[in-house]
Amino acid sequence: MNALILAGGLGTRLRPLTNYLPKPLIPLVGKPLVMHIIDSLPKEVDSVILAVSYMRDKLEEYFKENDVGRTIILVSEEEPLGTGGAIKNVSRYLDDTFIVMNGDVVCSLDISDMLKFHKTHGGIGSMSLWTVDDPSAFGVVGCKDSKIMTFQEKPKREEALSNLINAGTYIFEKEIFDYIPDGVVSIEKQVFPKILDKGMYGYEFNGYWVDCGTRANYITAQKILLNNGYAHVSTDAILEDNVKLTGQNLIKRAHLRNCNIGPNVYIEDDVLVSSNVTVSNSMLLRGSLIEEGSTIEGSVISQGCIVTKNSVVTDTISAKD
């Protein structure tokens, strides 16, 4: 079986991090975001198609250097074709029934169970659904006995027909291509509203779901994963003098000295954290240097950045020029 991951977006909301890394390769608790998605696929998925555009070279390089245990096919769009256009662009690689996943969602969805659901219900497609308090920033569905009856893209809160949102994983039958026009197409806006009479079914799930498109959500995803088994302090880490660790953190081969770390902190290899530094809800990427007396909260310090003495960095993504 094969699956398609939509991974061609520009990731503008994660700039300046996405100025040097495409969003799928941004690290999340020790592996790139896209690997969390690939690893969540059932075993029977032996090939994964990545629809890419922005920074294709970096993605190619990653998959050349890392064997991920499945065949990876990168298909490039000269210009981003939108979610629907990207699916149509790779139609020649897809089976009669195929999985499509949004490339920046981290969630506890059981795709094998969703496949069973899809086979039982029939229809042109199935969509994963997640419940939120305020659905106004999402695609909202109205369902009757699991059949999707209405689809609203980003409705006003008071006009939303339910709290169930499109969670970004689909299973489609090949017939879907008859309803995707050529060119730049948004599947959410231009296709879903038109195919409801062909049978679209909604698969609800529990656990966790985060769209990692923004800094705050990225850090939330990190928190969830740290609380689900990813927390660890490497035996190669050097913790010198009085390092105080609070809550769940992942610390790789870094050097920490007399500082306060946590909760929800991820520190990569070759990071140096100096005395009297406090870090919480943050990511310190490879080779960054945090000088004495600084405080970092809700932030991503990118590869090789230096946070100078006594700085206060809050809710920020820093990156080298």
What positions carry a catalytic annotation?
Answer: 154
> SS3 helix, strand, coil % of the chain, rounded to 5?
25, 35, 40
**CA separation (Å) from 147 to 101, 202, 258?**
20, 6, 57
Assigned token pair, 116: 């069973």
91 touches ligand GTP by CB under 6 A: no
Q: Within positions 294 to 313, which residues make up the interface with ligand GTP, using CB under 6 A?
A: none
What is the CB-side half-sphere exposure of residue 231 using CA atoms within 13 A? 15
12 touches ligand GTP by CB under 6 A: yes
Assigned token pair, 9: 């977006």
233 touches ligand GTP by CB under 6 A: no
Of the candidates 40, 55, 263, the one whose C-alpha atom is nearest the C-alpha of residue 168 is: 40
Kindly state the number of chain residues that form the binding site for ligand GTP, as judged by CB under 6 A.
21
Q: Which is nearer to ligand GTP, 42 or 213 (CB)?
A: 213
Q: Within positions 42 to 71, which residues make up the interface with ligand GTP, using CB under 6 A?
A: 51, 53
- Distance, CA of 301 to CA of 232 (rounded, Å): 20
Cis bond upstream, residue 263 (ω within 30): yes
Q: Which is nearer to ligand GTP, 52 or 307 (CB)?
A: 52
Least gap, CB of 169 to ligand GTP (angstroms) = 11
Region binding ligand GTP by CB under 6 A among candidate stretches 76-84, 245-253, 261-269, 300-308: 76-84
State the CB neighbour count (10 A cutoff) for residue 191.
20
80 touches ligand GTP by CB under 6 A: yes
81 touches ligand GTP by CB under 6 A: yes
8 touches ligand GTP by CB under 6 A: yes
83 touches ligand GTP by CB under 6 A: yes
Near ligand GTP by CB under 6 A: residue from 9, 125, 139, 202: 9
Of the candidates 160, 109, 169, the one whose C-alpha atom is nearest the C-alpha of residue 134 is: 160
139 touches ligand GTP by CB under 6 A: no
Q: Which is nearer to ligand GTP, 53 or 280 (CB)?
A: 53
- Distance, CA of 127 to CA of 118 (rounded, Å): 9
Q: Within positions 98 to 117, which residues make up the interface with ligand GTP, using CB under 6 A?
A: 102-104
The full length of the chain comes to 321
